[in-house]
Every structure is written in structure tokens, then in C-alpha cells.
């Protein structure tokens, strides 16, 4: 027998840490390689940690709620055959090696490590430090390479001893060698705004619902998007009468032949993808001192379950037909609702199309899926009277397309042209000039 470590994996682009939301195994359980062992949430993705080996779980190092750096130890697993990569020659079994590792030795090793990661802060740490006015220069990180984690900040917040910024300390110790002008009375400083209270009165009959890791991750990402990205909003109205007639005429045969439904949403995604090819600026991201225009067109879509919201990605959507998009939407939705969606299937999105119309919405302002530059809300298709080109009234199927944009990356002109192209693509769909294959 040999003992191996299972470490916190990289769960997304620029993700540096993850929180153990729920253990899916217990000590003594036997798992196969790639079996999920824990549910983890981060700022960008909610996923499952797979087992790296086939064997028996012998120790859960992290507890539910713990936040771990990428590469930190999650648990130990006992496998059959071979020598353990972590077991020393002095130990006869992996179990003894685990039992003999003292906490003092771990702490000593941490203190002896260099701190090259000290000033590399994750978005969650930065946000938390800003909310509580914590000077990160005064914090000793317990993460790998001296990196500061959310656990470090939470410990400071709980203690109530928030370190003062260095600038304030320097001002207090600075000798009084200033001119007479410096000794003049100073104008009173405005008090700092108190942090928003988290205490809400709870009355009889009120229900307290704990915030799950998934809900917390969604809240954090939405807050980051609203705080950092200056949102603007615009909308166009589209006549999709021909699209409705065409889709309704082929949906039954399509379902019999392919085994899954041909939804309106697949047509909308295809129309958006074609417009993105013509206006690649829409497929961009803000990167501080530059804008990254992405080559691949990967469409993020929202899939809701009873308890969570997931945003899987249709990779290389520009290479797929309407049928291909419909199939992928169906497969991703099934995986999300059955809990089988993988972390890599929720990474790499460059533009989001949200099917808000499925809930009966006719107009909405979406929050941008950070760090993307825009999100398009597809609203309900509603039949109503419209003035035709000949001046007469006619019953038409109409839909609103609502676009939220990051005004650092995009402006009204390019977004207006993009929406006009999406509108044209949708209104030109018909039995004569459109194929789902």
C-alpha cells in the first residue's frame, strides 16, 4: 500500500484558491480515479474536485468551509502497489507518516518559506480588504509563498484588530520639523463611511436561509462586475415571425430524427455568433492597461437548477450549425441539472447570451459576466399588432434583445451596429434561406 496526496486543482483561468463547500466522501470510502470527492466554489466557477487516484480515503485534511490555495493539500488517499511519492524512507506506511507530521513542524516550514507570492492578491482578497479597510502590507499571509488568503483576513476581522496603514504610522512617528504653515490648524476630516451593517432584524415567522457557496460566488462575481465595469444598456425590437413559422414547421421532424428539441434559443445564439464574427470588438475583455480581443467565440449560457445557477460554455460556437448549438445547449443543461457539469465546461466564455424569455420576461438589464464585455438578454417572443410596411396592422411575433455593455471596452456606436446585425440575421431566417444543418 502507498499513500498519495490529492491537491486543490486549478479550477479556472486566474483562479488561485477554492472553498470546500461540501465533502462527497468520508474517511474509509473507496473511490475510482476521476470520481468527484468534494464540491468547491471559487470567484469564477463552481465545480467538483476529482480524485487523482483509485483507492481508499484515509484522511480529510480540509474541512467544509475551508479556503485552500491551488496546490494545497485536500486529503490523503491510500492506493495499491508502488511507492508513495510523498512517503519518506524512514516511514514504513503512509498512515504513520500522516500521524507523525506535527503541527509545529508544518508551521516552522511555512515560516521558513520565501514569500514571492506575498503581493499577488486574488480578487476575493482585494475586495475583502477594501470592504474592511485592511492594509494588505501589514498582513502576514499563511498561503503558499506567503500569499494572503481570505482566511487570513477573516481572522483579522474576527479579532477586531485591523492594522493601520503604513502611511498613518509614518505620520505618527514623523518628527515635527515642518514650517509654521504646517502647524496651522487642519480642516476636520470627513469620517469614513461605516461598512454596511449585516444585521437584519429577524421577526417571528421569518425564515433564515444560509448562503450557500454557490450563491456566495454568484454574489461576489456580480458585485465585482458592478463595481468595476461601468454598465450601459441598450435594446432593439425584432420581428421574428418568419423564424417562428420556420422553426414550428420543422421542430417535430427534427425531434424525431435527432432525439432532442430544436429550441428558439439555438437560432438566437447562431444569429449572435454570426454578428460577433462581423464585429469582433464585442468579443473582448478589459485587462487594465489593454483590451483583449478574443479569437475564439465561446458563448456562455445560463442554466438554472432548483438550488443553483451555472454558466456553461459553448466552445467555438462559430464552427457549429444551428443543430450543433441546439445539441450542445441540451447536453450542457442536462449535465448542470444532474450535477455532472465539469469545471472546464464552465471556463473560457467570451460573450454571454441569456435566455431570460424562458421566464416570461419582456425587458431586463443583465449584469455583465465579468470579465466579458457584454451580455445579451433574449426576452419572450410575444405576438402583438404591428404596423406593416403597407401601413396596415398585422399580428407579428416580436422579441426584445437587451444588451448590457462594459463602457470601458465598448461604446454605443459599435453596440448599435452589432444589435442591428443580430436583428437582420434573425429577421432573414426563413424556410427558403436557412438550414438547421
Residues 69, 128 within the same domain: no
Burial class (CB in 10 A: 0-12, 13-18, 19+), 66: middle
Residues 85, 120 within the same domain: no
271: in domain: yes
Tell me what pLDDT residue 165 has: 64
* Percent over 70 (pLDDT), the chain: 79
SS3 10: coil
Greater model confidence, 297 or 170: 297
Residues 147, 83 within the same domain: no
Residues 86, 121 within the same domain: no
Q: What is the mean pLDDT of residues 388-407?
A: 93
292: in domain: yes
Residues 156, 279 within the same domain: no
The three three-digit cell numbers of residue 84, written as one number: 508513495
* 65-120 residue pLDDT tens: 888 888 899 999 999 865 444 444 444 444 444 454 445 445 555 554 455 555 66
Full DSSP string of 385-412: EEE-TTS-EEEEEEEEEEEEEETTT--H
Residues 301, 396 within the same domain: yes
Residues 309, 375 within the same domain: yes
Residues 244, 135 within the same domain: no
* 203-243 residue pLDDT tens: 899 998 887 766 777 788 888 899 899 999 999 999 999 99
Q: Which of 167, 187, 206 is the last residue of a domain?
A: 167
Q: What is the mean pLDDT of residues 323-349?
A: 90
Checking if the pLDDT of 145 tops 80, the result is no
166 neighbors 137 (Cβ within 8 angstroms): yes
| CA separation for the pair 328, 331 (Å, rounded) | 5
Greater model confidence, 198 or 174: 198
Tell me what pLDDT residue 43 has: 64
In which domain, by residue range, is 81 found?
Answer: 2-101
Label residue 173 by pLDDT band (50, 70, 90). very low
Residues 85, 148 within the same domain: no
Of 133, 252, 296, 411, the active-site residue reads: 411
Q: Which of 121, 136, 167 is the last residue of a domain?
A: 167
214: in domain: no
Mean pLDDT comparison of 96-110, 293-307, 373-387, highest-scoring range: 373-387
Checking if the pLDDT of 378 tops 60, the result is yes
Across 46-55, 95-104, 282-291, least confident range: 95-104
* Percent over 90 (pLDDT), the chain: 48
Tell me what pLDDT residue 198 has: 58
Our CA angle for 264, 268, 272, nearest 5°, is: 170
All residues at 6 or more sequence positions from 188 whose CB lies less than 8 Å from its CB, including other chains:
none
Tell me what pLDDT residue 147 has: 73
Give catalytic status of residue 407 as yes or no: yes
Mean pLDDT, rounded, of the chain: 82
Tell me what pLDDT residue 166 has: 58
Give catalytic status of residue 411 as yes or no: yes
Label residue 191 by pLDDT band (50, 70, 90). very low
Q: Which of 101, 128, 157 is the last residue of a domain?
A: 101
422: in domain: yes
Tell me what pLDDT residue 17 has: 81
- State pTM to two decimals: 0.61
Label residue 124 by pLDDT band (50, 70, 90). low
Q: Is the peptide bond before 367 cis (omega within 30 degrees of 0)?
A: no
Full DSSP string of 320-356: --HHHHHHHHHHHHHHHHHT---GGGGS---EEEE-G
Across 195-209, 252-266, 288-302, 401-415, least confident range: 195-209
In CATH, what number is assigned to the domain containing residue 412? 3.30.559.10
Say how many domains are in the chain: 3
Mean pLDDT comparison of 123-137, 326-340, 364-378, highest-scoring range: 364-378
Nearest Cα residue to 243 out of 266, 261, 225: 266
198: in domain: no
Residues 160, 59 within the same domain: no
211: in domain: no
Residues 290, 413 within the same domain: yes
In CATH, what number is assigned to the domain containing residue 85? 2.40.50.100
417: in domain: yes
Q: What is the mean pLDDT of residues 137-161?
A: 78
Residues 24, 91 within the same domain: yes
75: in domain: yes
| CA separation for the pair 220, 224 (Å, rounded) | 6
Amino acid at each position: 500500500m502507498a499513500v498519495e496526496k490529492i491537491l486543490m486543482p486549478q479550477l479556472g483561468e486566474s483562479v488561485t484558491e477554492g472553498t470546500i463547500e461540501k465533502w462527497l466522501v468520508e474517511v474509509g470510502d473507496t473511490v475510482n480515479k476521476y470520481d468527484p470527492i468534494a464540491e468547491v466554489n471559487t470567484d469564477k466557477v463552481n465545480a467538483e474536485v476529482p480524485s487523482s487516484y483509485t483507492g481508499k480515503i484515509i484522511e480529510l485534511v480540509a474541512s467544509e468551509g475551508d479556503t485552500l490555495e491551488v496546490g494545497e493539500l485536500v486529503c490523503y488517499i491510500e492506493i495499491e502497489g508502488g511507492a508513495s511519492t510523498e512517503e519518506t524512507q524512514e516511514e514504513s506506511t503512509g498512515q504513520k507518516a500522516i500521524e507523525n507530521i506535527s503541527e509545529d513542524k508544518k508551521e516552522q516550514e511555512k515560516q521558513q518559506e520565501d514569500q514571492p507570492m506575498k503581493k499577488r492578491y486574488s480578487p476575493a482578497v482585494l475586495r475583502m480588504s477594501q470592504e474592511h479597510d485592511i492594509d494588505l502590507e501589514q498582513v502576514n499571509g499563511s498561503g503558499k509563498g506567503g500569499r494572503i488568503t481570505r482566511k487570513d483576513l477573516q481572522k483579522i476581522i474576527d479579532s477586531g484588530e485591523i492594522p493601520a496603514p503604513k502611511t498613518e504610522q509614518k505620520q505618527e512617528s514623523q518628527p515635527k520639523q515642518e514650517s509654521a504653515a504646517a502647524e496651522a490648524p487642519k480642516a476636520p476630516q470627513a469620517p469614513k463611511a461605516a461598512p454596511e451593517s449585516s444585521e437584519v432584524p429577524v421577526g417571528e415567522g421569518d425564515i433564515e436561509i444560509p448562503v450557500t457557496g454557490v450563491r456566495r460566488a454568484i454574489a461576489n462575481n456580480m458585485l465585482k462586475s458592478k463595481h468595476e465595469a461601468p454598465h450601459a444598456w441598450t435594446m432593439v425590437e425584432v420581428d421574428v415571425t418568419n423564424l417562428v413559422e420556420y422553426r414550428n414547421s420543422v421542430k417535430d421532424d427534427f425531434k424525431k430524427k435527432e432525439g432532442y428539441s430544436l429550441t428558439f434559443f439555438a437560432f438566437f445564439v447562431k444569429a449572435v455568433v454570426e454578428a460577433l464574427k462581423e464585429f469582433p470588438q464585442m468579443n473582448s475583455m478589459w485587462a487594465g492597461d489593454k483590451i483583449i480581443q478574443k479569437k475564439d467565440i465561446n458563448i456562455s449560457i445560463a442554466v438554472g437548477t432548483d438550488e443553483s445557477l451555472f454558466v456553461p460554455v459553448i466552445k467555438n460556437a462559430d464552427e457549429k450549425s444551428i443543430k450543433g448549438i441546439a445539441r450542445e445547449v441540451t447536453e450542457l443543461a442536462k449535465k448542470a441539472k444532474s450535477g455532472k457539469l465539469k469545471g472546464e465546461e464552465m471556463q473560457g466564455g467570451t460573450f454571454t447570451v441569456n435566455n431570460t424569455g424562458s421566464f416570461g420576461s419582456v425587458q431586463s438589464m443583465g449584469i455583465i459576466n465579468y470579465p466579458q464585455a457584454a451580455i445579451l438578454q433574449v426576452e419572450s417572443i410575444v405576438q402583438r399588432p404591428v404596423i406593416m410596411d403597407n401601413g396596415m396592422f398585422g399580428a407579428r411575433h416580436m422579441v426584445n434583445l437587451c444588451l448590457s455593455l462594459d463602457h470601458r471596452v465598448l461604446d454605443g456606436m459599435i453596440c448599435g451596429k452589432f444589435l442591428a446585425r443580430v436583428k437582420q440575421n434573425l429577421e432573414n431566417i426563413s424556410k427558403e434561406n436557412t438550414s438547421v444543418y
